[in-house]
Structure 1
C-alpha cells in the first residue's frame, strides 16, 4: 500500500477537500470546509493560529463545523469548542471485487432525496444534509415502495472511499439489510480500484461488531470536535 496515500487517512477531510471533493467545499491553503448543505466537516492544513483564523473566516456567526483530529483540541481564541466524541476509523482488510447478494438493492438518486432525508431523520445515522447525496453513490432497499434501508459514500480521497449513512428502519432491523448494503457498496468501491473505509463512534459496539464481521478492522481513533464562533472571552478548553 502506498504510504503517501495511506497517510491521507490520517486527515481524510483535508485529503478529500483538496482532491476529489474540492468542488463540494470552499477555503484556501490553510483551511477548508464542505458546503453546509453537503456535510458539517472542516479541516486545517496544520493546527496553526493562521489556519484557525482562516477557518473562523469560513464560518458565519451562526454556523458550526466539525473537526476530526488525532489529538484533543485545546483552547483556541475566537472559537467555541465542544468535544463530540471519539470515533473508530475502520478500513476493509479484504478487497474482493466479486459478486454479492444485491437482490432488491436499488440505486438512489435525486428523485429519492425526500425519502432518504426522512429515513435519516428517523434513524439518525449521523450528519446528512440536503446535498449529502452529491458526495458519492447511494444505494437502498424499498419495501412496497417505502425506503427501509440505505447506505452511501461520503468522503472520497485518493485510493479510498468512505462508507456512511448506513441506516435501517427500526421495523426492518435484524434481517441483515445493513450488512447487505455495506457489502454491495464495498464491492462497487473495490471494482473502481479504491478501498472502503468508514467511521463509527467508539461506544457503538453493535455497529463495530457488524463492521468487523464484514471484514473491516480498526486503523486508528480520532477525536471529533464541534467548533463555532465564540463570544469575546468565551473560547473554551477541552
Structure 2
C-alpha cells in the first residue's frame, strides 16, 4: 500500500485544499474563499475556517443560494443566515487493499446519467450534490434495467487524499449491499492509483458509520457542519 500523505494539513481543511488546488478548475472565489461553481456540489472552502472570508465570496454567490461549510462555528456574517447546524465525522481509510472488484457490473456514470443521479440524490440525501457533481471524479452506478438504483463516486481531492461520496441506494433496493459494493470498488481503484480514501458521514447516521468501520475506515475527527444561505 502507498505511504499515507500527511493527515492534518490536508484533511482538516480538505475542501479549501481541493478548491484552491487540483480542483480549482471547478471553483469560483477570490483571496481566502472558494466555492464549487454553480451546478456542482454546493460547498464552500476557506483558507482559515476559524475566520472565514465570506466577504470575498459575495460576488460569486447569488441571493438565496445555500452552501455547506465544514469546521466553521462562528456567528453568521452580515448577508448570510445559518439554516442548519450539526456535526459530521471525517473518516480515513486504514484497511487493506480489497482483494477484488466487488461490483464489476457497475457502469461509469456520465453526463447523460445526471438527471437520474440527481433524482436519486434528492430522494436519499447522501449529502451536497449537484447536476454536475459527476464531473468531479469517477462515479459508478448499479441499474435495474435502465433505472439507477445505487451509486457512489468521488468528490474532493487534494494531496493524495480522495473523497468517496454520493453513496446512496434507492429505498426499493436497500438491504442488498449495493452501496457497500460500490464503495469497495472505489476504494480498490483509489488504492491502486496510490491515493488514500476518506469520506464524511453525519453523526446521526450511525448505521453508515458502523458499516464504514467494518469496511476499514477509522474516525479521524468530528467537526461542525452547517448549511448557510446567502440572504
What's the TM-score, normalizing by structure 1? 0.88
Tell me the residue number matched to 1:236: none
Structure 1 residues 163 and 48, CA gap change in structure 2 (3 angstroms): closer
1:191-238: CA deviation from partner (whole Å, max 9, x where unpaired): 1111111001001011111111111110001111222335xxxxxxxx
Partners of 2:45 and 2:187 in 1: how far apart?
A: 26
**Partner residue of 2:170?**
169
Output aligned runs, 1:78-157, within 5 Å: 78-96=79-97, 98-157=99-158
Q: Secondary structure at the match of 2:152?
A: strand
Structure 1 window deviating more from structure 2 (104-113 vs 48-57): it is 48-57
Distance (Å, rounded) in 2 between the aligned partners of 1:123 and 1:2: 32
> Match for 2:60 among 48, 58, 61?
58
Q: Which residue of 2 aligns with 1:11?
A: 13
Counterpart-to-counterpart distance in 2, 1:220 and 1:50: 20
Partner of 1:40: 42
Does the 8 A contact of 1:95 with 1:195 survive in 2? Answer: no
Cα contact 1:44–1:55 (8 A) shared by 2: no
The CA deviation at 1:94 is: 1.7
Indicate if the aligned counterparts of 2:108 and 2:139 stay in contact, CA closer than 8 A: yes
Which has the higher mean CA deviation after the structures are superposed, 209-218 or 113-122?
113-122
Classify 1:47/1:182 alpha carbon distance in 2 versus 1 (closer, same or farther; 3 Å).
Answer: closer
User: How many pairs align?
Assistant: 228
Would the aligned equivalents of 2:50 and 2:73 in 1 still touch at CA under 8 Å? no
Q: Aligned to 2:39, what secondary structure does the other structure show?
A: coil
Unpaired runs of at least 5, structure 2: none
CA distance in 2, matches of 1:153, 1:47: 23
Determine if contact 1:104/1:142 at 8 Å carries over to the other structure. no
How big is the shift at 1:61? 2.2
Q: Work out whether residues 97 and 191 of structure 1, in 8 Å CA contact, stay in contact via their aligned partners in 2.
A: no
Q: Which runs of 5+ in 1 are unaligned?
A: 231-238
Instruction: State the alpha-carbon separation in 1 of the partners of residues 11 and 197 from structure 2.
Output: 11
Once the two structures are TM-superposed, the CA of residue 86 in structure 1 deviates from its matched residue by 0.5
Alpha-carbon distance, 1:48 to partner: 7.4
